[in-house]
Structure 1
Amino acid sequence: METVNERLRTTMLRVGITTDELARCVGVDVKTVGRWITSSRVPHRTHRWTAAKRLGVDESYLWPEVVERSLRRRQEASKSELVELYPDRASVARELWLRLLTDAREHVDVLVFSGTFYSQTQPRVARMLAKAAGRGVTVRLCFGDPTSPARGDT
């Protein structure tokens, strides 16, 4: 069952704007604004932004379900991109490092300040990276300056 959007109705009353005025401002039919109020329909993003700006409030106040939906989508997307998360590199098994190098099909991207652990874990890492590049894998290595103040721990 749909409910009335009391926040939108109350804010319009407080600001002193009619459904006709808001409809003109946003660029929609007055019936559309009426549906936003009476049936709690959520407007298109640009209409939400324009209406919220005209009313002097944040869109999340008028349509809190938009924020909740956005957070759910972000959480779902982030889960789909992460396979596993490790607290530090030492928690990653040596065999996994090897498999990541040997099974890569498209990219191997390494970003480190000091990559000595990589070669210590697998002394043949340079040959393995060259072999991956030889089979068409894009290999990108980026080494930062370990003494850089950007690290934050120096």
Structure 2
Amino acid sequence: MSNERLRAAMAAGGWTYATFAEKTEVDPKSVERWVNQGRVPRRATAMKAAEALGGDVHALWPALRQARAARAVSPELVALYDRRADVPVSRYTDLFAQAREHIDVLVYAAVFLHEAYPRLNDLLRERAAEGCSVRIALGDADSENVRQRGEEERFGHGIESRCRLALMHYRPLVGVPGIEIRTHGTTLYNSLYRADDQLLVNAHIWGANAFAAPVWHLRRNGAGGVFDTYAQSFDAVWATATPVQEE
């Protein structure tokens, strides 16, 4: 199917296949295919062509508008899990083991990590000894937000108990060079597990325990993306959190 809008726009501007190809930095045969076969160029090339013609790129190639609307997946998304329970614990520990610069954990409790992988503290010590910065932010069991979360999940005082248990698990790491443990009382919208440029985000759903909520695995793809949004969120909570002192 030919592209009559493109053909008319080129004719109005006095463009030949050769001159338009030179302007858009493609082969003349590519331009011929755009016109006669209705081929759609890459978005960057189409934008350049539309600018040369003084037209609307989506009017010339409506398929590009449809393609953009259909691309609902972020280039930073590696995987999406329906529930945290579907994520193998090895996914977390493998990411931590590969980290060279940053390990950041923002949770209320997440005691499932220690329960399923008793060597977690040893792993974090090893990474810190290699120069990796380890920051763990746990929920303050005495905070109002933690108490309310327990009511919303119909978990009662269980969430508070798990926050205390999580602190017991991590307390042996207090004072280890390169590792810092803090407690926070913020409203937690997502639990975050970062290892360098990869991040597991456990969304929180009102009334549901975190194990039943989805997890997305992100890999940073340039500045200003979804990964950086969550990383900045961690830093904001970390700044309000209270360091856990050695006993």
* TM-score, length-scaled by structure 1: 0.57
Q: Which has the higher contact order (CA 8 A, sep 6+)?
A: 2
Shift of 1:82: 7.6
Q: Deviations over 1:47-83 (max 9, x none)?
A: 21211111112322211112212221216988x7484
Mapped to 1, the partners of 2:69 and 2:169 lie a distance apart of: 37
Mapped to 1, the partners of 2:70 and 2:137 lie a distance apart of: 29
Measured at CA, do residues 46 and 144 of structure 1 come closer, stay the same or move farther in structure 2, by a change above 3 Å?
A: same
Aligned to 2:12: 14
Q: Which amino acid aligns with 1:116?
A: E
1:126 aligns with 2:163: yes
Aligned to 2:69: 71
Asked if structure 2 preserves the Cα contact closer than 8 Å seen for 1:22 and 1:33, the reply is: yes
Aligned length: 124
Secondary structure, counterpart of 1:74 in structure 2 = coil
Q: Which runs of 5+ in 1 are unaligned?
A: 85-99, 146-154
Q: Which runs of 5+ in 2 are unaligned?
A: 84-108, 118-135, 151-158, 172-191, 195-233, 241-247
Mapped to 2, the partners of 1:10 and 1:109 lie a distance apart of: 62
Q: Which amino acid aligns with 1:142?
A: V
Shift of 1:19: 2.0
* TM-score, length-scaled by structure 2: 0.38
Mapped to 2, the partners of 1:41 and 1:73 lie a distance apart of: 19
Asked if structure 2 preserves the Cα contact closer than 8 Å seen for 1:118 and 1:125, the reply is: no
Aligned to 1:101: 110
Q: Output the aligned Cα RMSD.
A: 4.2
- Between Structure 1 and Structure 2, which shows a larger proportion of helix residues? 1
Give me the identity figure in percent: 25
